[in-house]
Amino acid sequence: MTPAKANTTKALASTPGLRELARLGIEVSLHPYDYDPAADAVGLAAAQALGLDPAFTLKTLMVEVDGLPACCVIPSNRQLSMKRVAAAFGGKSAAMMLPAKAERLTGYRVGGISPFGQKKAVPTAIEASVCAAPKVWINAGARGLLLGITPTDALRSVKARPAELLA
């Protein structure tokens, strides 16, 4: 499925994540949409706005595992299992990171956090069930902008591991 609004990274390389992907030679498609700050679930709202399957429209969640930062990328229509998150990163406990801390750590605003081009690289896991898909959509680093990428390129670009993260 290809949304009507699509550009290439060469047209819009405006976020740290897009610049990092371009530096790595990874081509992505860009999909702008009207961001709704009042949406209950930003990822689901993005999927709906672009006519995408929410199972392959991924959200980026910042967590802390045994007090250390990590990044999880999962389908927008699902929830994290903190027990599985802790196990995926070799820890004993996991919790969601406070929004202000996530913004400071990543350099992005909540609603626009991307796993790509974060200010400080942290261990990252992508939900294993989406890793066989031909393409997934992930925040490009700005509210109202998703990028389309192959899961293989997403994993490689942030040195992520596939993991079972879902509740």
pLDDT of residue 73: 98
Closest CA to 57 of 110, 159, 127, 10: 127
Specify the CATH number for the domain of residue 30.
Answer: 3.90.960.10
Residue ranges of the chain with pLDDT lower than 70?
1-13
Q: Is residue 140 part of a domain?
A: yes
Closest CA to 115 of 6, 45, 8, 18: 18
The identity of residue 126, as a single letter, is I
Q: Is residue 1 part of a domain?
A: no
DSSP 38: T
Q: Is residue 133 part of a domain?
A: yes
How many structural domains does the chain have?
A: 1
CA distances from 163 to 81, 114, 155, 158 (A): 11, 18, 11, 14
DSSP 57: B
Q: Is residue 2 part of a domain?
A: no
pLDDT of residue 62: 98
pLDDT of residue 14: 87
Reported pTM = 0.92
Q: Is residue 96 part of a domain?
A: yes
Look up the domain containing 130 and give its range.
7-163
Q: Is residue 132 part of a domain?
A: yes
pLDDT of residue 9: 39
Q: Is residue 18 part of a domain?
A: yes
pLDDT of residue 101: 98
pLDDT of residue 13: 52
